[in-house]
């Protein structure tokens, strides 16, 4: 059984309101029955292999060398393959992605920008996924019902915008965007952009899926070539085979430990080698998903039999057959050059636990207890959480259930609170049917809604007080300070779902399931057998409830309204263009010390409800960034009044007084989420420039898109010359040009000055965005010419 295709949707199947739960299935999707595979069962658009092969042949002849799989897929999507400059790490590529995916928290701002562009309909297949606004409180059913009520204004806006502008709409409860993409839309050779940093999940099915800000997504939806700096390619050569307690998650945990949170910046991570044969398709997706934590542009596995099997199991046998016919386009050439090569023998790889507070602090399980004691980390595991977009496959859930069953057979349950997040409605329905969910409940687990939940801070946690030092263990991907529960004292560790389950069973970081024993209810000592689980369900997947709304062929009659009094949604006003002058005597709003992720700049959790209202969400700007002067958070001195106040309030005061301001930051500024709010908020509150030691890729692009100046110190040590009482001037902006440094004059409070050099990575088009005030402003200018 499969969802009906776009071509055969009836009025009964289509609905404009998001609440509708109509089911509409057909035995054979029309787009597949025609003999040539569509990109998905929901799309009329055909697989692009014919075009990709033609482009690939052009580039292959030009390069005249072996090519990586990443290069083949990426370069075959070039706007101009015959003339595009192809220099890794420096050229800016003009690309034509196949589709766009938006999650509900970022979709609001993306769609508000698309609406302001004046365009009638999206130009490429695009979808909206409701997964971020569902808070974990009690359990899946109750939490979903509450979210539908609390967020009905936003859901109605997204559903009606989807209907009007031609985007498919996945209702709340359908699942996490990345799992839905993997199950329905990803295919080998795909180039997709998504407004979430973990979009690379689709690399597990051989697609280049890249996280972007909303403005980038708008470009693609508006049929404008999408710009990407030509990435380098890091090769990870896998030998040996996974076995025992070692899982696919341990591969990326190990790679994160090697490359750190910024080691993948500006690069695609491509996995290859004989070790691939021991990794499931969903396991490959896990690895690609967490590649976001090393700053990688995206990650990719070459097409193989495990992908074919997954496509067939999810009703896409025709796509699998087409991929078979195009395997040369989807796999690396022998001798293909990599900019960096990492060797990992899977037969020797140990299970890892990474954290706390950063996803690249990698510790093998046999060293965890001693490391935790040496660092004073809380040993008791308060909560274990499995699932999320990273690890919620049928295989993951089955392997965890095998451990839970062993414990239950010995009369014991989890000592820690244990939460389970299914990745999609299809996964939820299938694990319910096959008894896996019930086993996890018997173990002590609570099955949460098919949504992001605690992974992104949507967790109404009650078992500890704010500021209480404690440990949680998750199978998630990200563990920045306060991310999961808004408690800066929570020590969050990321690991495999299997180790999360084992540590929750023991209730302590001191437990190593590869060698330690547990005590059964009868006092008998026993050791857990290695986890086991089917890669794919033997009875096939159960689709569960239909949660998809297809857009009508003509959406011109649909209405999209935004109440001017709304506290959740706000239409956007264009940012002012650059006035053509140097930026003289700017005030420094805050000099940030240490890690400053997008969570620090624009917190998630309870603030997610304001993602569609720029002015309201700007009240969370830099709440948890550390002031380099004082070591405090959300406390800066107003350089006009002399008073100490909250960062957003101080910025608002500067804006009201007409005082231009800038921010000074540290290394890898803006790592983490793709949320463009971290760029929009400083722009909205009067910021002009962000000056740091180095940027994370997505955030730097988002700043450029919104007309901000993202600048880096030519000499990182000059960060120390900046004093928060300085007046900072940027000189020579009228001659701003690609590759040309910007002169910065620091006027200190004692009257002395320092002149330093700042660098930027803007090309000619991006300088046009700055001049126009934003990329969207420039788009409007071009349409009016």
Catalytic residues: 131-132, 196, 478, 673, 675
Contact predicate 560/332, CB 8 Å: no
User: For residue 118, with 0-12 CB atoms within 10 Å meaning exposed, 13-18 middle and 19 or more buried, which class applies?
Assistant: exposed
Environment class of 295 (CB within 10 Å of its CB; exposed 0-12, middle 13-18, buried 19+): buried
Q: Supply 684's token pair.
A: 């909205």
Are 509 and 482 in contact by the 8 Å Cβ rule? The answer is: no
Q: What is the DSSP secondary-structure string of 48-62?
A: -HHHHHHHHHHHHHH
* Per-position b or e across 547-569, b if 16+ CB within 10 A of its CB: bbbbbbeebeebebebeeebebb
Q: How far is CA 460 from the centre of its chain?
A: 22
> HSE (CB half, 13 Å, CA atoms) of 646?
10
Q: Which of 378, 385, 359, 387 is nearest to 508 (CA)?
A: 378
With contact defined as beta carbons under 8 Å apart, do 685 and 712 qualify?
no
DSSP state letter for 656: H
Q: Which residue has the tokens 């899977």?
A: 346
**Which of 417, 389, 435 has the alpha carbon at shortest distance from 501?**
417
What's the CA gap between 458 and 340, in Å, rounded? 37
DSSP string, 586-643: EEEEEEB-S---HHHHB--GGGGGGTB-HHHHGGGBTTTPBBTTTS-BS-EE-TTT--
Other CB atoms within 10 A of residue 535 CB: 17
Q: Tell me how far apart the alpha carbons of residues 757 and 713 are, in angstroms, rounded to a whole number.
A: 7
Positions of E strands within 143-195: 168-170, 191-194
Contact residues for 782 (Cβ-Cβ < 8 A; gap 6+): none
User: Residue 341, class by beta-carbon neighbours within 10 Å (0-12 exposed, 13-18 middle, 19+ buried)?
Assistant: exposed
* Backbone phi, psi, residue 227, to 5°: -100, 135
Asked if residue 647 lies in contact with residue 623, where contact means CB atoms within 8 angstroms, the answer is yes
Query: Which residues have CB under 8 Å from 350's CB, separation 6+?
Result: 246, 250, 364, 365, 366
């Amino acid at each position: 059984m499969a969802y009906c295709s776009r071509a055969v949707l009836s009025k009964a199947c289509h609905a404009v309101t998001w609440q509708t739960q109509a089911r509409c299935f057909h035995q054979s999707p029309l787009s597949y029955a025609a003999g040539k595979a569509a990109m998905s069962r929901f799309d009329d658009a055909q697989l692009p292999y014919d075009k990709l092969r033609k482009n690939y042949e052009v580039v292959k002849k030009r390069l005249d060398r072996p090519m990586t799989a990443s290069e083949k897929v990426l370069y075959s999507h070039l706007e101009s393959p015959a003339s595009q400059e192809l220099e890794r790490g420096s050229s800016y590529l003009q690309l034509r992605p196949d589709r766009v995916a938006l999650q509900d928290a970022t979709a609001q701002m993306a769609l508000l920008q698309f609406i302001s562009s004046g365009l009638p309909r999206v130009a490429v297949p695009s979808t909206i996924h409701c997964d971020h606004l569902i808070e974990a409180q009690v359990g899946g059913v109750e939490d979903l019902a509450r979210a539908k009520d609390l967020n009905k204004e936003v859901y109605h806006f997204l559903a009606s915008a989807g209907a009007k502008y031609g985007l498919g709409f996945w209702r709340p409860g359908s699942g996490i965007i990345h799992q839905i993409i993997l199950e329905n839309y990803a295919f080998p050779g795909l180039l997709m952009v998504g407004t979430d940093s973990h979009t690379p999940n689709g690399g597990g099915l051989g697609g280049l899926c890249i996280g972007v800000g909303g403005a980038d997504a708008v470009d693609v939806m508006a049929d404008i070539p999408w710009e990407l700096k030509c990435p380098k390619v890091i090769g990870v050569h896998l030998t040996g085979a996974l076995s025992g307690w070692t899982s696919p998650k341990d591969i990326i945990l190990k790679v994160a430990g090697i490359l750190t949170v910024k080691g993948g910046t500006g690069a695609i991570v491509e996995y290859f080698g004989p070790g691939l044969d021991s990794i499931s398709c969903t396991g490959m997706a896990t690895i690609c998903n967490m590649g976001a934590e090393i700053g990688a542009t995206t990650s990719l596995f070459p097409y193989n039999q495990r992908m074919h099997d997954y496509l067939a199991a999810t009703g896409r046998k025709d796509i699998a057959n087409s991929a078979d016919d195009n395997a040369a386009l989807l796999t690396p050439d022998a001798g293909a050059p990599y900019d960096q090569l990492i060797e990992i023998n899977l037969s020797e790889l140990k299970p890892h636990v990474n954290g706390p507070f950063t996803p690249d602090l990698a510790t093998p399980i046999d060293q965890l207890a001693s490391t935790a004691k040496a660092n004073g980390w809380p040993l008791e595991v308060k909560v274990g959480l499995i699932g999320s977009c990273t690890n919620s496959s049928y295989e993951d859930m089955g392997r965890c259930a095998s451990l839970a069953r062993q414990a239950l057979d010995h009369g014991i349950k989890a000592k820690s609170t244990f939460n389970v997040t299914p990745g999609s409605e299809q996964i939820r329905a299938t694990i319910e049917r096959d008894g896996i969910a019930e086993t996890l409940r018997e173990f002590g687990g609570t099955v949460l809604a098919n949504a992001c939940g605690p992974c992104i801070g949507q967790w109404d946690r009650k078992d500890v007080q704010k500021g209480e030092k404690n440990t949680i263990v998750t199978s998630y991907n990200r563990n920045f300070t306060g991310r999961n529960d808004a408690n800066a004292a929570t020590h969050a560790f990321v690991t495999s779902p299997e180790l999360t389950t084992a540590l929750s069973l023991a209730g302590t970081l001191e437990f190593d399931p590869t060698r330690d024993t547990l005590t059964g209810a009868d006092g008998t000592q026993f050791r857990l057998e290695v986890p086991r689980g089917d890669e794919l369900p033997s009875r096939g997947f159960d689709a569960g409830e239909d949660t998809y709304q297809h857009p009508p062929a003509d959406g011109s009659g649909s209405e999209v309204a935004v109440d001017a009094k709304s506290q959740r949604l706000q239409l956007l006003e264009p940012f002012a263009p650059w006035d053509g002058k140097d930026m003289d005597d700017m005030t420094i709003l805050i000099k940030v010390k240490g890690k400053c992720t997008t969570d620090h700049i624009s917190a998630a959790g309870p603030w997610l409800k304001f993602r569609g209202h720029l002015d309201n969400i700007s009240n969370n700007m830099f709440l948890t960034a550390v002031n380099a002067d004082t070591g405090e958070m959300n406390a800066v001195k107003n350089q006009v009044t002399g008073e100490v106040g909250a960062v957003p309030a101080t910025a608002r005061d500067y804006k009201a007084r007409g005082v231009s301001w800038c921010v000074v930051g540290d290394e890898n500024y803006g790592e983490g989420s793709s949320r463009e709010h971290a760029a929009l908020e400083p722009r909205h509150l009067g910021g002009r420039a962000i000056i740091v030691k180095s940027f994370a890729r997505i955030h730097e692009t988002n700043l450029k898109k919104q007309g901000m100046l993202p600048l880096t110190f030519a000499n990182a040590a000059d960060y120390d010359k900046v004093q928060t009482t300085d007046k900072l001037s940027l000189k020579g902006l009228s001659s701003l040009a690609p590759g040309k440094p910007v002169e910065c004059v620091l006027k200190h409070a004692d009257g002395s000055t320092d002149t330093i050099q700042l660098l930027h990575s803007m090309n000619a088009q991006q300088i046009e965005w700055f001049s126009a005030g934003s990329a969207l402003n420039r788009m409007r200018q071009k349409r009016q010419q």
